[in-house]
Amino acid sequence: MHDVPHGEVRVRLVWRQRTWRCPEAGCLRGTFVEQVPTLVSPRAQVTRRAVAWAIGQLRREHATIAGLARRLDVSWWALWRAVKPELQRLADDETRFAGVTSLGVDAHIWHHGYRRKKGP
């Protein structure tokens, strides 16, 4: 499990995930694996804390998924798979517009389009 880097040091958590077996003879599931959703989403390689950290880096430090994946020592896809649903959840939250009266566009970025042409 990959967690928030400590300075330049990559952090890995070792987690002994328990596997449970159902004693019912007719059980369709049979076994299931311990989940701790407050620590990590199912099948994710990064902790929820690392996902929150990565989103903060994207928002405030102009970080990229590729750069953050390197710092977390996971693949681009492993990080994006963990970050995307959280970004979607945040984007779907209409309360983020509470109190907003106007929105702006960064004209500087607007003018650095494809092949350095101006405009959209």
Closer Cβ to Zn ion, 26 or 120, answer by number: 26
Closest CB 30 distance from Zn ion, rounded Å: 7
Report the amino acid identity of residue 28: L
CB 48 within 8 A of CB 35: no
Closest CB 22 distance from Zn ion, rounded Å: 3
Closest CB 38 distance from Zn ion, rounded Å: 24
Closest CB 18 distance from Zn ion, rounded Å: 16
- Pairwise CA distance, residues 5 & 15, whole Å: 17
For 88, the enclosing helix (H) or strand (E) is helix 76-92
Closer Cβ to Zn ion, 32 or 77, answer by number: 32
CB 46 within 8 A of CB 1: yes
Using Cβ positions, the residue closest to Zn ion within the complex turns out to be 22
Radius of gyration of the chain (CA): 20
Catalog residues that contact Zn ion under the rule CB under 5 A: 22, 24, 27
Closer Cβ to Zn ion, 27 or 52, answer by number: 27
Closer Cβ to Zn ion, 9 or 28, answer by number: 28
CB-facing half-sphere around the CA of 115: CA atoms within 13 A:
0
